[in-house]
Amino acid sequence: MEITLQIDELKALLKSAGPGVKTTSLDQLLTWGQLVTFPQNTAEEILLSTFGISGNAAFYTAIADELRPSSSDYWMRADPVSLQAGMSRVFLVASGSPEFPEQQRAALQDSLNLHFAEDGLQFLLPNNNRWYIHLDSGHPQAQTELLPPPRKLLGEDISIDTAVMGKFWQRCFTEIQMLLFAQPHRQDREIRGQSPISGLWLWGGGLPGSGPEPERELNCSGNSALLQGLALSAESAWQAEANISTASKQLIHWAGDQPGTAVEQLKQLEDQVFSPLLEAVSNGAELTFIAADAGRWTVRKRLKWPWKKQAGARVIVLESAIHE
């Protein structure tokens, strides 16, 4: 049995949860693990590479969102974010919009499409967290690489990052902010004490290319729109709840935008994922353990490894930051 587990933000979860959360099964798995590489790419790039693809997360999440994207066109994520201006800097303080009524979302979509019609941009806002821009493949800006995933820059100054977008997308970014500022939903959200949507984060774009090879024997699980879209494209089995099955080849993804506090997520991971994984590895399964913010481990049952015997997950994962 071959199992791959990818957790997008394990180091961040351990830091946020603090030392009081017991992670007995995770500790044992990483004690058995051999560190292979340190993280070089984003979580999205790592998951895409598992299916033999580079770039363009937007196309595959659009599949999961039932937008039926054309494989010959360019798709980009344009996710709602809250930006906060300082004296000379702009900070990204929140991503996604958990409470955005469908009627307001539809009105905003119409406003965006009307404003940017001459630029050849089509905006699609299918849910509260993942919004999109669609361009025809012949559009002159269709191959531009833009920003990293928004969660990578939460709490950071984003002034430098927006400056790398080029004149066209820099103009779009600014005009979107102005349009959002004038929308009636902004005042409604402020009255309810919610963060205003003050910008759209442009990332994950590209032309789809040939797509993944069929992986019909692969069993995928995890509440991840990117994994769902990839699994559908590769004709692989997929289910939303992350768990261990009896399939000979498995891929489990714990995305970085899961609901719940860090403590709740770690407890859920320990019960639903780490504990059954430990049992599977104890029975001979081979595990590739990927913490996208810490490293990649190969995990096999080992009878003796005295020099790592006392090391727990907190030590193993958090100390990997030294080598980044």
Reported as a single tens digit per residue, the pLDDT across 150-181 is 887 777 787 766 777 888 998 999 999 999 98
Name which residue leads in pLDDT, 197 or 125: 125
* CA neighbor of 23 nearest in space, from 288, 323, 305, 277: 277
Asked if residue 96 has pLDDT above 80, the reply is no
Alpha-carbon distance 288 to 272, whole Å? 17
Pairing state of beta strands 90-95 and 74-85? antiparallel
Over the chain, what is the mean pLDDT? 84
CA-based torsion, 227, 233, 237, 239: positive or negative? positive
pLDDT bucket at 258, cuts 50 / 70 / 90: confident
Q: What per-residue confidence (pLDDT) applies to 318?
A: 62
pLDDT, tens digit (0-9, with 9 covering 90-100), for 10-63: 888 888 888 888 888 998 898 888 888 877 788 999 999 899 887 789 999 999
Asked if residue 195 has pLDDT above 60, the reply is yes
pLDDT, tens digit (0-9, with 9 covering 90-100), for 223-237: 899 999 999 999 999
Asked if residue 124 has pLDDT above 90, the reply is yes
Q: What per-residue confidence (pLDDT) applies to 235?
A: 92
Asked if residue 281 has pLDDT above 90, the reply is yes
Alpha-carbon distance 5 to 295, whole Å? 12
Q: What per-residue confidence (pLDDT) applies to 220?
A: 94
Q: Locate tokens 């004296």: which residue?
A: 87
| 8-state DSSP, 147 | B
Please state, as a whole number, how many other Cβ atoms lie within 10 Å of the Cβ of residue 136.
12
Q: What per-residue confidence (pLDDT) applies to 111?
A: 95
**What's the whole-number mean pLDDT along residues 300-310?**
59
Buried b (16+ CB within 10 A) or exposed e, 193-215: ebbbbbbbbbbbbbbbeebbeeb
* CA neighbor of 89 nearest in space, from 160, 147, 146: 160
Residue 272's contacts (CB-CB under 8 Å, 6 or more residues apart) are: 241, 242, 243
* In the chain, domain spans: 2-53+211-323, 69-206
pLDDT bucket at 320, cuts 50 / 70 / 90: low
What is the residue type of 173? F
Tell me the DSSP string of 34-101.
EEEE---S-HHHHHHHHTT--S-HHHHHHHHTT----TTSEEEEEEEEEEEE-SS-EEEEEE--S---
111: exposed, middle or buried (Cβ count in 10 Å: 0-12, 13-18, 19+): middle
